[in-house]
């Protein structure tokens, strides 16, 4: 029976609220006090049942929780026939518990999402030299595997034959595929965009980088699930104090009604509703402004933030490489762009796509005698001209003469973290393009707002190379930036900040690879356009991936935390005032006390509702 009642306490709260409404409506419309009385009695009995069970369970483990005080106070109010107070207090208490339960319970669907993304099969080389599809669980370290275009890499390993481009977004978060050749490392869960490779398995199953991501998310979510709610901590002192005070008063006065009145006046109605109403109003404001906050514990930690850590791609940057800068040299640039577009149309490399998007609509010419120079670019014949498109090494190979301005431009582009696309026609450099994942518009101003709101450290962790990371860091004025970071490196860094340096850390990211860090950080903040796993694992979601909502989110949580403290002060202050007046004055009685008590509930509700109008100054 206890299990059934606790399981259905939300339904009980709803029924209690309906009964209270029916009772007061019958009084105000047809002045039927019999319906009012029995509605309140029924609501009180139903409402106190789950609270009393929780109080009993707490006392069994020697904890005097707030449930104990509410149970005793409601019972006392019921004994002296103050059914109105007993019914309202039980409803408010259960409704507050429902609000916390709904927002604080963390979903475990992220683990399921991650598991479904893991590779399930592999092409394994058998004893006869042929490759046969087997379950990934049948792969052992040392096995030779074949990975074809479009397939997932099944294990962590090393390429022993073939070459291709691998999309490592699930591991590093970077959008540009990485070229793989003999000797290159590959990771489970990544996707071979083009080419065919053979790999030797080194880490399989749960030992792979992808498997460790799942494990890290699981551990990090468990580590945060033990946090206690503030009200329960406060009640360890408040509840026994009110009970002892009531007992002492009865012991000396032998006045049962006075002792019960102390319990009723001491019942924390405003305290019970004050924190949830601030919390709900803050969440409501956030929802209207593109910020999803997943609970009051999130608000508390977020408001005391020390350090904010960012993933780069898709968070500080747009997530799609595009032409950021370009320089033209000499004459006939329009023709050179036609030749460039014609060559790049033959490639499916992300840099080629970025170049074509920048050039726009352009007539194409036939491309002949194409030669792909591994790691450098493409040389081809277009319209009777020898066209070379690639990096600086290709220009050197083609003996393209570079003057001082060209060399200066190339050096400047590289320092800004660009991937270079140079185009030479018949041995003369015509076009220099810098392609990079560009910083989101307005990010620099938003980071400045975060600093003004009290964030001391702004840190970027990225799977990209250190040169690119440093370039972005310099442009944004970050405190620290680290490149070449795998998911376990990011989570280890965050763990050190939290456990060794005692900082309150928020992590902002959008990819599957970010999920361990999102779960481990005190506050995980996901971009709404990111993966479902990142969104489920996080504590805060910026809807539509709008980075500008981040300062509003931080300012809102600070305002909400202040509002919660104000409501606690009002609730506790009123209770202390009522009890002091009851014990040390002649004018305080049950009726006046109830009026002030209900007034305090209205005060904290109105104070909490102010958050709905909050705007970041």
- Span of 75-79, 147-151, 215-219 with lowest mean pLDDT: 215-219
Whether 464 is a known active-site residue: answer: no
- Cα separations (Å) of 126 from 145, 148, 151? 10, 17, 19
Query: Is 127's pLDDT higher than 60?
Result: yes
CATH fold of 113-218 reads 2.70.150
pLDDT of residue 105: 43
Confidence of residue 555 (pLDDT cuts 50, 70, 90): very high
Closest residue by Cα to residue 108 from 220, 229, 8, 188: 220
Cα pseudo-dihedral 589, 93, 236, 73, rounded to 10: 40
Q: What span, in angstroms and rounded, lies between the C-alpha atoms of 351 and 340?
A: 12
Confidence of residue 220 (pLDDT cuts 50, 70, 90): very low
Each residue of 446-499: pLDDT tens digit? 999 999 998 999 999 887 778 778 888 888 889 999 888 888 888 899 999 998
Q: 272-306+441-617 architecture in CATH?
A: 3-Layer(aba) Sandwich (3.40)
Mean predicted confidence (pLDDT) in 221-226: 38
Each residue of 321-379: pLDDT tens digit? 888 889 999 888 989 999 999 988 887 777 888 898 888 888 889 989 888 887 788 99
- Span of 316-320, 397-401, 541-545 with lowest mean pLDDT: 541-545
Q: What span, in angstroms and rounded, lies between the C-alpha atoms of 402 and 428?
A: 8
Query: Is 432's pLDDT higher than 90?
Result: yes
Confidence of residue 257 (pLDDT cuts 50, 70, 90): low
Query: Is 91's pLDDT higher than 60?
Result: yes
Q: Work out the number of other CB atoms within 10 angstroms of the CB of residue 224.
A: 16
Query: Is 30's pLDDT higher than 90?
Result: no
Cα pseudo-dihedral 555, 559, 560, 561, rounded to 10: 100
Q: What span, in angstroms and rounded, lies between the C-alpha atoms of 180 and 265?
A: 73
Confidence of residue 32 (pLDDT cuts 50, 70, 90): confident
Listed by start position, the domains of the chain span 1-105+232-267, 113-218, 272-306+441-617, 319-439
Q: What span, in angstroms and rounded, lies between the C-alpha atoms of 268 and 66?
A: 9
Give the active site residue among 311, 446, 539, 546. 311
Q: Work out the number of other CB atoms within 10 angstroms of the CB of residue 75.
A: 15
Query: Is 228's pLDDT higher than 50?
Result: no
Q: Which segment, 262-266, 362-366, 613-617, is predicted with the most confidence on average?
A: 362-366
Secondary structure of residue 7 in the 3-state scheme? helix
To which H or E segment does residue 164 belong?
A: strand 156-167
- Cα separations (Å) of 259 from 245, 246, 575, 580, 587? 8, 5, 15, 13, 17
Q: What span, in angstroms and rounded, lies between the C-alpha atoms of 344 and 372?
A: 12
CATH number of 319-439: 3.40.1110.10
Main-chain dihedrals φ then ψ at residue 24, nearest 5 degrees: -70, -35
Higher pLDDT, 606 or 162: 162
pTM, two decimals, is 0.61
Q: Which segment, 32-41, 172-181, 261-270, is predicted with the most confidence on average?
A: 32-41
Q: Does residue 485 contact residue 586 with C-beta atoms inside 8 Å?
A: no
Each residue of 564-576: pLDDT tens digit? 888 888 888 887 8
Q: Does residue 317 contact residue 575 with C-beta atoms inside 8 Å?
A: no
Both tokens assigned to 487: 């998911």
Averaged confidence pLDDT in the chain = 80
Each residue of 537-551: pLDDT tens digit? 677 877 767 788 899
pLDDT of residue 101: 56
pLDDT of residue 107: 35
Mean predicted confidence (pLDDT) in 115-127: 81
Per residue in 86-97, is it b (16+ CB within 10 Å) or e — as a string? Answer: bbbbbbbbbbbb
% of the chain exceeding 70 in pLDDT: 83
How large is the C-alpha radius of gyration of the chain?
33
Q: Does residue 435 contact residue 354 with C-beta atoms inside 8 Å?
A: yes
Three-class HEC string of 235-273: HHHHHHHHHHHHHHHHHHHCCHHHHHHHHHHHCCHHHHH
Closest residue by Cα to residue 513 from 232, 175, 277, 252: 175
């Amino acid at each position: 029976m206890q299990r059934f009642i606790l399981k259905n306490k939300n339904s009980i709260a709803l029924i209690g609220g309906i009964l209270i409404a029916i009772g007061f409506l019958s009084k105000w419309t047809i002045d039927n006090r019999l319906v009012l009385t029995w509605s309140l009695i029924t609501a009180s009995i139903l409402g106190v049942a789950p609270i009393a069970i929780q109080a009993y369970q707490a006392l069994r483990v020697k904890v005097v929780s707030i449930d104990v005080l509410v149970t005793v106070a409601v019972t006392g109010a019921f004994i002296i026939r103050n059914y109105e107070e007993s019914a309202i207090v039980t409803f408010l208490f259960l409704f507050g518990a429902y609000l916390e339960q709904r927002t604080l319970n963390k979903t475990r669907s992220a683990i399921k999402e991650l598991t479904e993304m893991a590779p399930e099969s592999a092409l394994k080389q058998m004893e006869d030299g042929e490759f046969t599809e087997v379950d990934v669980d049948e792969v052992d370290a040392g096995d030779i595997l074949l990975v074809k275009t479009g397939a997932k890499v099944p294990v962590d390993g090393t390429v022993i034959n073939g070459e291709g481009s691998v999309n490592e977004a699930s591991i590093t978060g970077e959008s540009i595929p990485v070229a793989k050749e003999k000797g290159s490392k590959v990771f489970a869960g990544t996707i071979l965009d083009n080419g065919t490779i053979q790999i030797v398995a080194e880490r399989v199953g749960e030992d792979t980088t992808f498997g460790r991501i799942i494990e890290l998310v699981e551990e990090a979510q468990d580590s945060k699930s033990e946090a206690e709610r503030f009200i329960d901590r406060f009640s360890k002192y408040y509840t026994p104090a009110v009970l002892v005070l009531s007992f002492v008063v009865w012991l000396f006065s032998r006045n049962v009604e006075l002792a019960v009145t102390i319990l009723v006046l001491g019942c924390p109605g405003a305290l019970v509703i004050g924190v949830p109403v601030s919390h709900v109003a803050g969440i409501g404001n956030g929802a209207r402004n593109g910020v999803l906050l997943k609970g009051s514990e999130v608000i508390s930690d977020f408001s005391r933030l020390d350090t904010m850590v960012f993933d780069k791609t898709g968070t500080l940057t747009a997530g799609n490489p595009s032409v950021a800068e370009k320089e033209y040299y000499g004459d006939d640039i329009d023709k050179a762009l036609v030749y460039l577009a014609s060559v790049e149309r033959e490639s499916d490399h992300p840099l080629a796509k970025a170049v074509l998007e920048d050039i726009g609509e352009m007539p194409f010419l036939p491309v002949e005698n194409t030669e792909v120079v591994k790691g450098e670019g493409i040389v081809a014949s277009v319209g009777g001209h020898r066209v070379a498109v690639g990096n600086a090494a290709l220009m050197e190979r083609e003996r393209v003469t570079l003057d001082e301005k060209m060399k200066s431009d190339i050096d400047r582009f590289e320092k800004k973290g660009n991937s270079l696309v140079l185009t030479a026609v018949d041995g003369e450099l015509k076009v220099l393009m810098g392609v990079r994942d560009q910083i989101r518009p307005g990010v620099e101003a938003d980071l400045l707002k975060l600093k003004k709101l009290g964030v001391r450290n702004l840190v970027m962790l990225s799977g990209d190379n250190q040169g690119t990371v440093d370039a972005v860091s310099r442009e944004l004025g970050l405190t620290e930036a680290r490149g070449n970071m795998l998911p376990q490196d990011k989570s280890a860094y965050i763990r050190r900040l939290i456990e060794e340096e005692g900082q309150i850390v928020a992590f902002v990211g959008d990819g599957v690879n970010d999920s361990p860090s999102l779960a481990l950080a005190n506050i995980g903040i996901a971009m709404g356009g990111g993966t479902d796993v990142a969104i489920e694992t996080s504590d805060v979601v910026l809807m539509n991936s709008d980075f500008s909502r981040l300062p509003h989110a931080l300012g809102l949580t600070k305002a909400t935390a202040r509002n919660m403290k104000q409501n606690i002060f009002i609730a506790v202050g009123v209770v202390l005032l009522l009890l002091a007046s009851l014990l040390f004055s002649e004018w305080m009685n049950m009726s006046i006390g109830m009026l002030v008590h209900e007034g305090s509930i209205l005060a904290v509700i109105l104070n909490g509702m102010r958050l709905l109008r909050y705007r970041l100054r």
